[in-house]
A and B are shown apart, each in its own frame.
Chain A
Amino acid sequence: MSYRTVIGLEVHAQLSTATKAFCSCSTRFGDLPNRNTCPVCLGMPGALPVLNRNAVELAVRVAFALGCEVRKTSIFARKNYFYPDLPKGYQITQYDQPLAENGRLSAPLPDGSEVPVRIRRIHMEEDAGKNIHLPGGNESLVDFNRCGVPLVEIVTEPDISSPQVAAAYLKELRNVLRCLGACDGNMEQGSFRCDANVSVMCEDATALGTRTELKNINSFKFVQRGLEYEIQRQIGILEAGGSVVQETRLFDPRSGITHSMRGKEESHDYRYFPEPDLPPLVLDDAWQDAVRERRPVLPADYRKRLRDELGLPPYDVDVLSADKDVAEYSIAVLSHARDRKGASNWLMTEVLAVLNDRRIAIADFPVNAADVAGLVDLLASQKLSAPLAKEVFARMWQERRSLAECVASVGTQDSDERHLLAICRTVVENSPVEVGKYVAGKTQIIGWFVGQAMKETRGKGNPRILTRMFTELLDAGKSKQ
C-alpha cells in the first residue's frame, strides 16, 4: 500500500521589537532572570496592556510578504489556561478575527523547482515566560523576561507533502522574516519555533487521515527527523490494521522518536473571548499602503537575480540564496566578477567554508565583495594558480588586508615561457631516472616533474605551462630514442 503524507506547519516567530508587545520592558535575550519585567507583563492586579505599534507594523510586513490579505479590523482575544509561566492566567492572542489570512509562500527545492504552500492565517500574540526546573526535581522557578514578547503565529494549510518540503518551507519562511527585519530567526534562542500537524492517508483515499501534532522540532534537522519518524510510525499503525490517535506528541532528538504528550480528551478548553482591555486593531488603507510600499527585497527576489541576471545554475542559486546576507554579498561579488561561475564556486567553497569554520556571519567577514571578485578573476586569467589564490585569500581574511596588498606580498603566477623553459630543461637534465621511467611509459610521472619546477619557482610557476613544457620536452626525448 502506498501512502500520501499531509503536513501543516505552525510557526511562532518573535518579532524584532525593542520592547514587549504590551508594555515597555526590553525584549533583550539572556538578561538576568526577571530583570525585564513590570506590573503589566507580570500580570499584576490592575495592570493593563497597550499594544506596541512597532510590533503591528512588523507583523503586517510579514503578512504582505506572504501575500496575505490584512484585515482592516482585527480583534485580540484571551486564551485562558493556568500555568506558572502565564501570570495573567490567559494569553493575549487573536482568534476568530486574525490580523491576516489567505497568503502563500513558495518553498524552493534544491533542484530549482518550487512548491507552493498556502498560508491560512497570521495572527499576533504574546509569548509566555519560562519555567526553570532546578536539579532535584523539587523546585521550579519562573523567568518572566520572555513573558509578553511579541510573536506572530504563521499557520499553513495542509499543503506540505514531505519532510523535505516542510524543511524547505521553514528555511524559506525564516529567510523571508529575516529579509523583512521582522524576526532574527534564531532557533537556538527560540525566536523561530515550529509545530507540525501530520497525517498519512492511502494514495487513493479522499478523506484526510487522523493527524497528530508534533512539538519540540526546533531545528531544521529535527523537523525532518521528527516528521520522518512520525510518518513511519503512523504508516506502521495503519499497516498493522490499527488507527492513529489524535494527540499531541513530543519529539525527542536524542532517541529520534516521538512520544505522546497529551491526548485529545486532555486538550484544553481555552474559553476564547474578545480581550476587553484592547480595542479592535484598525488598520486603514492608507496605513496599509504605506507599509506595503516599504516592501524590502525577499529571498525569491534574490533567487531571481542569481538565476536570471547572473546566470547561476539551480544548485548555486539554492546555496547562495539560503541566507539573506550571504545572498546580498554573493550578488555584490558576482556583479563585479567576469567569471561568474568561478566566483560562485569560490563563494560556495572558500567563503562559506570560512564562515562555517569560524562560526561567523557574513556581516563579520572582513573581505569586501570587490576583492573576492578580483581574486576570482586573477585565478581565471591565470595570473594566480589555485594554490596561490588560496594563499592570497587566506591572507585577505586573516590579516584583513586588501587584494592588492596580498597579491603583492604573495606574488602573481609566473607565466614567462622563456624563464619556465629554462627551469624545465634543468629539471629534465638533473633527473635521468625519472626521465627513464617516463620514457618507459609511466607518463603520470609528469606530475612529479611539475612539482620539481614548482619548487624551483617557489610555487609561482604556471602549472599548465609547466605541464605542457614537460610533456613536449619528454616526448621529444622519447622520439629521439
Chain B
Amino acid sequence: MTNELTRYSAVAIRDMVATGVVSSAEVCTAFLDRIGAMDKRLGAFLKMDPEAALAQAREADAKRSRGEALGRLHGVPVAVKDMIVTRGIETTCGSKILAGFIPPYDAHVVERIKEEGGVVLGKTNLDEFAFGSSNENSGYKRCGNPWSRHHVPGGSSGGSAAAVSAGFAPLALGTDTGGSVRQPASLCGVVGLKPTYGRVSRYGVVAFASSLDQCGPMAGDVRDTALLLSVIAGKDPRDATSADVLVPDYVATLGQRPGQDGRWSMDDGRRLRIGVPKEYFPSGAKGLEPDVASTITKALARLSELGADVEETSLPHSPYAIPAYYVLAVAEASSNLARYDSLRYGPKCPESARTDLEQCYMQARAAGFGDEVKRRIILGTFALSAGYYDAYYVKAMKVRTLIRRDFDAAFRKFDLLAAPTSPVAGFRLGELVDDPLTMYQMDVLTVPVNLADVPGISVPAGFSSAGLPIGLQLIAPRFEEARLLRAAYAFEQAGPPRAFPPGWDEVIR
C-alpha cells in the first residue's frame, strides 16, 4: 500500500502528511525502497543518503506532532540534481574531478526546500558539469529513459527527469543553461520549468555558464512544478544576479481557471495571444521529426480550443542562437571550471606529478575531466584568447542582444510563445555520442530562451508512434512565470491524465 504513495503528487503527499494520513517517514521510506529496488536498471541517482533523508522526514513528523507551523513542502521528498551543493552529501557534478567532495554548505534552493519541510532524497545523475543533452556524458554512469530502455533521458538534468518519470521522487531540481531542464522533461514525459534569469538564486548551484544558468523545478504535473517554484524563487542577497521581484504564490494563481464560458482570458479580459515562431518549425533534413511536428500542431489546436489566439510569428535571429550560445557558454565554462585544480578538493594529482605545479594541474585535469568537458574548456579558452575575443565572444554577445530583442518584439504582440521543446521525441543511447555537433543541435529550440533570460516550460503534449513522450514548450516574458504556469496548467487539464511509463507503473511489494 505504501508504495502507491510514490504515484501521488507532491501536493497530495504534503496534504496527507500534514493531516496525519501518513507520516513523512513512511513517505520517505516508500520512495527510498522504490529507488533501492529499481534504480539499478535506470541510473537516475548518483548518491543517496537514506539516513539523512529519513532524519529530515522524522524531523518533519516531529514538527507536526509538536504542533508547529508546517512548510509548503512538509514531508515531501525532493531529488536534487548533483550540480547543486548539499551540505554533508557528496556533490560531484557527475565529474570524477569532484569525487569525494562533500560541500560544507547547502545551496540556497536546498536551504529553501529544507525550510519548507521538504526532504532531500538524493543526488541525481547528469551530464558532467551539465555539459550534454543525453546524460551520456556523466562521469559515473548512464541514465536510461523510463519510457524506453534504449533511449536517453535527455540532459543534462537527465537523472532528475528520469527520477520523476519513474516515480522515484514527486519533485526534482534541475539546472537549465541551454535547455537542461526542459529537454529531459520533454523526453521523459514530465514537466520542467526554466525560470527567468535571476528568478532563482544560483548560490550553491555549481556554475556552468553563469550568465545563462538557472535552477528550475521538475515534477509530474504543473501544480507541483508551481509549488516547487514558489519555494525556490526570490531574491537571495548571496547572489548578486538574483532579482528583487515579488514572488507570487504560483499555486494559487493556477486557480484562475477558464471562465464560465469555458474560455480563459488574461487578467484584463483580453484573449491570450500565443505566438508560434516559424523558425521553431524548420522543415527539411534538420527539421522537426514528423511525430513532433504533428503532436505540437495538435497541442496548438488544444490551446486554440482553450480560447487562445494562436498565430505565427518570427524570431528572425534564431538561426544564430546555437553558435552564439556555444561560444558564450563554453567561454564562461572554461573560466568556471578553472577552480578544479586538484589542490583543494577531488582526487589529488598523481604522486609523480607533485614536484611540478604545472604537471600537477595538467595530469589532475586530464584524468578528472571527461572528453566533452575537455572539448568545451578548449573551445572556451580559445574563444577568450587575445586576438580572438572580439571575433567570438564579443560577436556572440551582440547576437545575444539581437536574440533578446527578437523576444522583446514578439512579446509586444504576444502574451506567450509556443514551440516544441525538442526537435526529436528522443534518441537512442549511443546514437549521437560521437557526433557532438548534431548533439549540440538538439538544443536549438531551448537555447534562445536562455540567451533572452526569459522563462520557459516544457509540458507533456503527447507521444510519438514509438511511444516516446513529446513536450510542448511555452515561453513567457521575463518574470511572467505565473502566466506561463497558468497556461501550462490549463493545457494540462484539458488533456489526458498523467501517464506513467510502462514497466514503471507497477507497485512493487
A interface with B by C-beta (< 8 Å): 39, 42-51, 78, 80, 82, 84, 87-90, 142, 269, 271-273, 276-279
Contacts of A269 in B (CB 8 A): 385-386
Would you give the shortest CB distance from B376 to chain A, in whole angstroms? 14
B93 & A50 in contact (Cβ 8 Å cutoff): no
Contacts of B104 in A (CB 8 A): 39, 44
| Given the contacts A51-B240, A84-B343, A279-B240, A89 and B85 also touching, CB distance less than 8 Å | no
CB within 8 A of B385: which of A43, A44, A78, A271?
A: A271
Residue of B nearest to A84 (CB): B343
Q: Which of B329-382 contact A (CB under 8 A)?
A: 331-332, 334-335, 337-339, 341, 343-345, 357, 361, 381
A45 & B85 in contact (Cβ 8 Å cutoff): yes
Interface: B463 (CB within 8 A): no
Contact residue range for chain B?
35 or more
Residue of B nearest to A83 (CB): B357
Residue of A nearest to B203 (CB): A48
Interface: B105 (CB within 8 A): yes
B361 & A82 in contact (Cβ 8 Å cutoff): yes
Interface segment among B44-52, B164-172, B206-214: the answer is B206-214
Which 3 residue pairs are nearest across A and B when measured between Cβ atoms?
Answer: A89-B338, A271-B384, A276-B211
Contacts of A45 in B (CB 8 A): 85, 91, 93, 98, 101, 103, 206-207, 339
Tell me the complex Cα distance, A142–B357, Å. 14
A47 & B203 in contact (Cβ 8 Å cutoff): yes
Interface: B113 (CB within 8 A): no
Contacts of B72 in A (CB 8 A): none
A48 & B381 in contact (Cβ 8 Å cutoff): no
| Given the contacts A89-B341, A277-B210, A46 and B107 also touching, CB distance less than 8 Å | yes
Would you give the shortest CB distance from B100 to chain A, in whole angstroms? 13
Would you give the shortest CB distance from B385 to chain A, in whole angstroms? 6
Residue of B nearest to A82 (CB): B361
Would you give the shortest CB distance from B234 to chain A, in whole angstroms? 15
Residue of A nearest to B205 (CB): A46
Residue of A nearest to B338 (CB): A89
Tell me the complex Cα distance, A90–B335, Å. 7
Interface: B232 (CB within 8 A): no
Residue of A nearest to B344 (CB): A87
Tell me the complex Cα distance, A39–B102, Å. 12
B241 & A277 in contact (Cβ 8 Å cutoff): yes
B interface with A by C-beta (< 8 Å): 84-85, 91, 93, 98, 101, 103-105, 107, 202-207, 209-211, 237-241, 331-332, 334-335, 337-339, 341, 343-345, 357, 361, 381, 384-386, 389, 393
A80 & B384 in contact (Cβ 8 Å cutoff): yes
Contacts of B91 in A (CB 8 A): 45
Tell me the complex Cα distance, A90–B98, Å. 19
Residue of B nearest to A269 (CB): B386
Contacts of A42 in B (CB 8 A): 344
Contacts of A278 in B (CB 8 A): 240-241
Tell me the complex Cα distance, A316–B209, Å. 59
Contacts of B240 in A (CB 8 A): 48-51, 277-279
Contacts of B98 in A (CB 8 A): 45
B107 & A78 in contact (Cβ 8 Å cutoff): no
B103 & A46 in contact (Cβ 8 Å cutoff): yes
A88 & B331 in contact (Cβ 8 Å cutoff): no
B389 & A82 in contact (Cβ 8 Å cutoff): no
Tell me the complex Cα distance, A171–B417, Å. 63
A48 & B339 in contact (Cβ 8 Å cutoff): no
Would you give the shortest CB distance from A128 to chain B, in whole angstroms? 13
Contacts of A271 in B (CB 8 A): 334-335, 381, 384-386, 389
Residue of B nearest to A268 (CB): B386
A48 & B103 in contact (Cβ 8 Å cutoff): no
Would you give the shortest CB distance from A268 to chain B, in whole angstroms? 10
Residue of A nearest to B202 (CB): A48
CB within 8 A of B335: which of A48, A80, A87?
A: A80
A50 & B237 in contact (Cβ 8 Å cutoff): yes
Contacts of B207 in A (CB 8 A): 45-46, 277
CB within 8 A of A46: which of B206, B338, B341, B393?
A: B206
Tell me the complex Cα distance, A46–B238, Å. 11
Residue of A nearest to B239 (CB): A48
Would you give the shortest CB distance from A221 to chain B, in whole angstroms? 33
List 26 A-B pairs, Cβ < 8 Å: A39-B105, A42-B344, A44-B85, A44-B103, A44-B345, A45-B98, A46-B84, A46-B202, A46-B204, A47-B204, A49-B240, A50-B237, A80-B335, A80-B384, A89-B337, A89-B339, A271-B381, A272-B389, A273-B331, A273-B332, A273-B384, A276-B332, A277-B207, A277-B210, A278-B240, A279-B241
B85 & A48 in contact (Cβ 8 Å cutoff): no
Contacts of B341 in A (CB 8 A): 82, 84, 89
Contacts of A47 in B (CB 8 A): 203-204
